[in-house]
């Protein structure tokens, strides 16, 4: 995993710069004002503040955790992280806690890894499959970014937040484009609320799939505070946002 060095701007858009010239997010893949607005909200609330200033050890450990998810669909144990990093278990645990404080990882009360964006071990509406690979995703945007992260076509299985109808989204071009979608009118709500220094319990639960615009508007009209601030995205726009965030974080994946 590369080490973030500083905040950057790409044509005026906020980002984090990495050695070697890579930038997160990749603003070049978002093509509409709506996608740009949604991505800016995520970067300004979460990515920029949390990624800035990681040291080399934190970056290496974060990469080990993500690689484990990419290979197995599950989080590694602390002992496995320590072995992969050449650290003692206590030192590895300390780094994991620092990453948790940065909201890059989710740990349970015992210090076990329960998530690393885009992946989660916890209950979730969103599941991503690719061949023998399967993992839960934190949110709709995260699920849509997994294919570009793994450079594999994936199937996302989720549900409409309003009516709970099962949804299926298939990608092509190594996760960078939509293929078959059922139902055909799926849209995404990208909420903007980040709270308690934890995207998993705030921002992520507001990135949701809906069968169509009617169900999205019905949900928004329900009076939920969660529906007050955010942007409606077409499925292709939401895929662009997911690609922009997770595409630069490409992981090794077994052939």
Tens digit of pLDDT at every position of the chain (255 positions): 443 333 455 567 888 865 445 678 999 999 999 999 999 999 998 888 877 777 888 888 988 999 999 999 999 999 999 999 999 999 999 999 999 998 999 999 999 999 999 999 999 999 999 988 899 999 999 999 999 999 999 999 999 999 999 999 999 999 999 999 999 999 999 998 888 889 999 999 999 999 999 999 999 988 765 567 899 999 999 999 999 999 988 875 554
State the pLDDT at residue 252: 58
Taking alpha carbons only, the member of 57, 151, 136 closest to residue 95 is 57
Residue 190, CA distances (Å) to 81, 181, 209 in order: 33, 19, 9
State the pLDDT at residue 19: 43
Q: Write out the H or E segment, with its range, that includes residue 210.
A: strand 207-210
Is 57 within 8 Å of 81 (Cβ atoms)? Answer: no
State the pLDDT at residue 49: 81
Compute the chain's Rg from CA coordinates. 17
State the pLDDT at residue 5: 37
State the pLDDT at residue 11: 61
Neighbours of 3 (CB within 10 A): 17
CA 247-233-242 angle, 5° bins: 10
Question: Would you mind telling me the total number of residues written for the chain in this entry?
Answer: 255
């Amino acid at each position: 995993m590369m080490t973030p060095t500083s905040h950057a701007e790409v044509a005026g858009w906020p980002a984090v710069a990495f050695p070697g010239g890579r930038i997160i997010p990749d603003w070049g893949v978002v093509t509409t004002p709506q996608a740009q607005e949604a991505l800016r909200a995520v970067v300004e609330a979460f990515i920029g503040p949390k990624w800035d200033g990681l040291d080399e050890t934190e970056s290496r450990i974060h990469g080990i955790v993500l690689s484990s998810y990419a290979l197995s669909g599950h989080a590694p144990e602390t002992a496995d992280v320590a072995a992969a990093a050449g650290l003692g278990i206590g030192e590895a645990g300390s780094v994991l806690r620092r990453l948790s404080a940065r909201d890059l990882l989710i740990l349970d009360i015992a210090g076990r890894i329960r998530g690393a964006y885009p992946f989660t071990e916890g209950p979730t509406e969103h599941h991503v499959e690719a061949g023998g690979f399967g993992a839960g995703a934190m949110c709709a945007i995260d699920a849509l970014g997994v294919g570009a992260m793994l450079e594999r076509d994936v199937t996302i299985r989720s549900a409409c937040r309003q009516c709970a109808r099962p949804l299926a989204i298939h990608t092509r071009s190594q996760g960078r484009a939509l293929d078959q979608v059922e139902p055909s009118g799926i849209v995404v709500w990208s909420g903007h609320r980040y709270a308690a220094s934890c995207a998993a319990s705030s921002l992520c639960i507001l990135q949701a799939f809906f069968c169509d615009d009617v169900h999205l508007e019905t949900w928004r009209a329900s009076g939920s505070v969660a529906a007050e601030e955010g942007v409606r995205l077409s499925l292709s726009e939401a895929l662009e946002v997911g690609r922009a965030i997770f595409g630069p974080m490409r992981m090794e994946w077994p052939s």
